[in-house]
Structure 1
C-alpha cells in the first residue's frame, strides 16, 4: 500500500518547473488549432468536416512517433538519473535511426491511403475530395513530423522542456501566418485605422494543409539542429549512426506497448468517428469542433504528464523509490485540483468556445451540449494523463495498453455502436459513452498505482539501460 505523504514544496516546485514549458507549448499548439478551426470554420460546416474527418487517422500516425519517443525518453531519462552519459548519448543515436525509419515508412503509408480514406471513414461525398487533399498535403512531410516529436522527447528526457517549447511556438506562429495567406482570397483589410489590400491564395481547405506542412518542415529542421547542438549529453554529433542492439531493444521493448496502446485507442477513435459520421455533416462538424475546444482545458494535464514522465524515469535511475511515490502523489493531487477548475469553466462557457470556431447555429447548439457533458470528466482525464506519464517513465507500458484497449473498445465503441445503430440516439449519447470510457480508465489506472503494480520488476539500484537490455 502507498504510505500517507506530506506536501513536499521542493518536489512540487520541481514538478511545476518542468511542467510549465510543456503547458505553454501545448497551449500555443491549442491556440493554433483554434485558429485553424476558426479560419476553416468561417468557410463552411462542410470545410470543418473535411478537415476533421481524417483527424483521428492523423492522430494514429503521429502516435507511432510518440511511442518511439516514449521508448527513447524512458531509456535516456533513466540513464541521466543514473549518471550514465554514454548510454544516454547512444540512446539518442537510436532515436535518429528510429526517426528515419518510421518517418519514411509511415509517410509512404499515409500517401497511399489519402485518396480513399475519407470514403472509408464514412464521409459524405461532397466533402471527400477536400478531405483527401487536406490529408495528403498536411501529412506529406512525415519525416519532419517524426523529427519534431521524437527529438523533442529526447530533449525532454534530459529535463530540457524549454527547447521543444520554443520550436513548437515558432511552428505555430508560422502556421498562423501562412493560414491567413493561403486560406483566403486577396481582400481589403482594415487594421488599427489603416486600410490595405492583403494578398491571399484563396486555396481554402488545401491552403490550411499547405500551411501545416510548411510549419512541420521548418519545425523538423530546427528540432534536429537543436538536438545536434544540445549541451546536455545527448547530442549525436560526432557519433556513428548505427544500431546498438541492447539499447535499441530497450527502446523498442518500452515503446512497442505504448505504440500498441496508441494504435488501439486511435483505431477506436477512427471507428468512433465513423459512427459519428452516420449522424450527418452537422454532427461531424460539431463533434470535431467540440473536441478541438475541449483541448484547451486539458493542456495543464499534458504539461504535468510530460513532467511526470521525465521525473519518474530520472528518479528510477537514481534508485529513489520514496521520491517516486511522493512524485506521483503530488502530481496527481495538483492536476486534479487544476482540472476541476478547468472542467467548471468548460461547463459554464461551452457556447462561447463553440462560437470561436463556427457561425453555424446548429453546430454551436450541438457542440455546446456535448461540451457540458464532457466537462465532468476533466479531473479524471487529468489524473489519467499523469499516471500514464509515470508508468511510461518507469517503462511500465504494457498495463496502460491493456487498460486502454478494454475501456476504448469495451465501453466507448461498444456502447456508442449500440446507441447510434440500435437505439437511434444522437451526439449527446455518443459523448456520454466517451465520458464513461475516461472515468473507468482513470479508476483502473488509479487502482494499479495504489496496488503498486506498476513497480513490479523495477530495481531501485541505479539501473542502466544498456545493462538491463543485455541481462
Structure 2
C-alpha cells in the first residue's frame, strides 16, 4: 500500500531543496535583468536610434557567449556528477580545466570580435545612421572578454557544487557597478532636483559609448571576483594544483559541452539572421522588437533560475547512480516552473504597455511592443518547461537532443517562416513574433517527447 504521508514528506523535502538552490539563481537572473532594463531605459532616453544601435548586436553577443556557456555546462555536468559520486579530487581537477578553458576561449573570442566589430553592423543590415554607434558599442563590450568568460565559466563551476549564492553576490556587485557608471557616463553634467533639494551631477556625456564602457568595467569587476571566489572555495579551489591539461577530464567536458556549443551557435546564428530580417521592418519596428525582447526577460527569470538547480541536482543524482531521485527531481522542477511561469505569463499579457513604457516614451514603439508581448505571453508556460528540460539534459550530459531540437526549430521553423512573412508576404512585427513563438513551441514538443520516452535515461550509467 502506498504510504501517502511518506511520499508527501519526500516531495516537500525535494521542493525545499530545489527552492534553496533556485532562489539565489532567480535573484541573480533578476539582477541581470534589472541591469539590462536600466541599460535599455537609459539608452532609450537618447532616442529610438540609440536603442536600435545597442539592440543591433545583441544577437551577436548571444553568439559569442555560446562557447562560454557551453563549456560552463560541460564543466558543471562533470563536477556535479563527481561530487555526487564523492570523487572530490576529480572535481578539483575539473576546476583547473575550467581555468584553462577560460583563458583560451577568452583570448580567442577577444581577437575575433575586435577584428569584426568595424564591419558587423553593416553585415547585419543596420541602417547607415546607426552603424557607427553599433560598431563602437560592440567593440567596447567585447574588449574585456577574458573577464566575461571568467564570470560565466567559474560561475558554472561554483553552481556545480551547489554554491548558488556566490554567483548571485558577484552579479549584485557587477550590476551595481554597471548602473552607477551608466548614470555617470551616458549623460552630460546636469542639475538634479529632488523635492526641495537640487544638486549638480557630473556626467561624461559619452552616450552609447558610455553605456558600453560601464558594461565593460562591470565585466572586469565580476570576472575578478568570480575567480577569487573559486580560489577560496573549499571543495573546488585549484589552490595547490598545477595548472596543466588533464586530457581525460578535458575530453569529457568537451564531449558534453560541444553539442551545447553547436546548439547555441546554431541558435545564435539564427538570431543574427532573424535580427537582420527584422531590421527590414524599419527603425521603429526594430526598436520595438529590441525593447520587447528586453521587457520579456523579466518574465522567464524563474525558469532560468530554476534551470541551474535542475542541472545541479540531475548531475548529482547521476553521480549517486540514483535513477529514482533523478526522475523525482525532473518532475518536481518541471511542475514548479510551469506553475510559476503561467503566473508571470498572465501578468505580462495584462500589462504589456506598462512594461514597454519603462524603456521608451515613443507611442509608436510602445504600441508595437505591447502587441508582440501579448503574443509571447501565451507561450510562457511551455517556454518555462523547455528551459527546465534543457537544464535536466545538460546536467546529466545528454546534450545532443537539445542541439538537434534547437537546430530544427530555429532554422526549420523560425527563420524560414520569418523570411516568408517579412520578405515575401510583407507582414509586420506581429507575424515575426508568432514565428518566434512557433519555434519555442516546436522545441518544447521535441524535448518533451524525448523526456517522456525515457530513452535518454537508458543511456546513463545507473547501477541496478
Q: If the length of structure 2 is used for normalisation, what is the TM-score?
A: 0.98
Is 1:162 matched up with 2:172? no
Aligned to 1:142: 145
Q: What is the alpha-carbon distance in structure 1 between the residues aligned to residue 188 and residue 58 of structure 2? A: 25
Is 1:374 matched up with 2:407? no
Q: What is the alpha-carbon distance in structure 2 between the residues aligned to residue 257 and residue 288 of structure 1? A: 28
Deviation at 1:400, TM superposition (A): 0.4
- The residue correspondences of 1:240-251 to structure 2 (distance < 5 A) are 240-251=242-253
Deviation at 1:38, TM superposition (A): 0.2
Cα contact 1:318–1:461 (8 A) shared by 2: no
* Other structure's SS at 2:448 match: helix
Q: What is the alpha-carbon distance in structure 1 between the residues aligned to residue 259 and residue 112 of structure 2? A: 21
Aligned to 2:315: 313
Cα contact 1:187–1:197 (8 A) shared by 2: yes
Uncovered stretches (5+) of structure 1, i.e. residues with no partner: 463-471
Q: What is the alpha-carbon distance in structure 2 between the residues aligned to residue 38 and residue 387 of structure 1? A: 33
Q: What is the alpha-carbon distance in structure 2 between the residues aligned to residue 193 and residue 92 of structure 1? A: 55
Aligned to 1:113: 116
Aligned to 1:469: none
Is 1:26 matched up with 2:29? yes
Aligned to 2:270: 268
Aligned to 1:357: 359
* Other structure's SS at 2:189 match: strand
Cα contact 1:260–1:401 (8 A) shared by 2: yes
Q: What is the alpha-carbon distance in structure 2 between the residues aligned to residue 331 and residue 282 of structure 1? A: 39
Q: What is the alpha-carbon distance in structure 1 between the residues aligned to residue 146 and residue 56 of structure 2? A: 23
Aligned to 1:259: 261
Q: What is the alpha-carbon distance in structure 2 between the residues aligned to residue 15 and residue 387 of structure 1? A: 15
Query: What per-residue deviation string (whole Å, max 9, x for no partner) do you get for residues 319-344 of structure 1?
Result: 11001001111111111011111000
Deviation at 1:78, TM superposition (A): 0.3
Is 1:406 matched up with 2:402? no
Query: What per-residue deviation string (whole Å, max 9, x for no partner) do you get for residues 146-200 of structure 1?
Result: 0000000000000000000000010000000000000000000013532110000
* Other structure's SS at 1:188 match: strand
Cα contact 1:182–1:201 (8 A) shared by 2: yes
Uncovered stretches (5+) of structure 2, i.e. residues with no partner: none
Is 1:452 matched up with 2:454? yes
Deviation at 1:453, TM superposition (A): 2.1
Aligned to 1:341: 343
Q: What is the alpha-carbon distance in structure 2 between the residues aligned to residue 59 and residue 438 of structure 1? A: 17
Deviation at 1:456, TM superposition (A): 3.2
Q: What is the alpha-carbon distance in structure 2 between the residues aligned to residue 180 and residue 42 of structure 1? A: 12
Deviation at 1:71, TM superposition (A): 0.4
* Other structure's SS at 1:115 match: coil
92-101 or 190-199: bigger deviation: 190-199
Aligned to 2:210: 207
* Other structure's SS at 2:118 match: coil
Q: What is the alpha-carbon distance in structure 1 between the residues aligned to residue 247 and residue 173 of structure 2? A: 36
Q: If the length of structure 1 is used for normalisation, what is the TM-score?
A: 0.96
Residue in structure 2 matching 1:72, options 59, 70, 75: 75
Aligned to 1:303: 305
* Other structure's SS at 1:198 match: strand
Deviation at 1:443, TM superposition (A): 1.1
- The residue correspondences of 1:164-179 to structure 2 (distance < 5 A) are 164-179=167-182
Is 1:198 matched up with 2:198? no
Q: What is the alpha-carbon distance in structure 1 between the residues aligned to residue 178 and residue 195 of structure 2? A: 23
* Other structure's SS at 2:345 match: helix
Query: Aligned pairs, how many?
Result: 458
Residue in structure 1 matching 2:62, options 56, 59, 64: 59
RMSD: 1.2
Residue in structure 1 matching 2:12, options 9, 14, 32: 9
Cα contact 1:258–1:398 (8 A) shared by 2: yes
Aligned to 1:278: 280
Query: What per-residue deviation string (whole Å, max 9, x for no partner) do you get for residues 39-63 of structure 1?
Result: 0001100000000000000011111
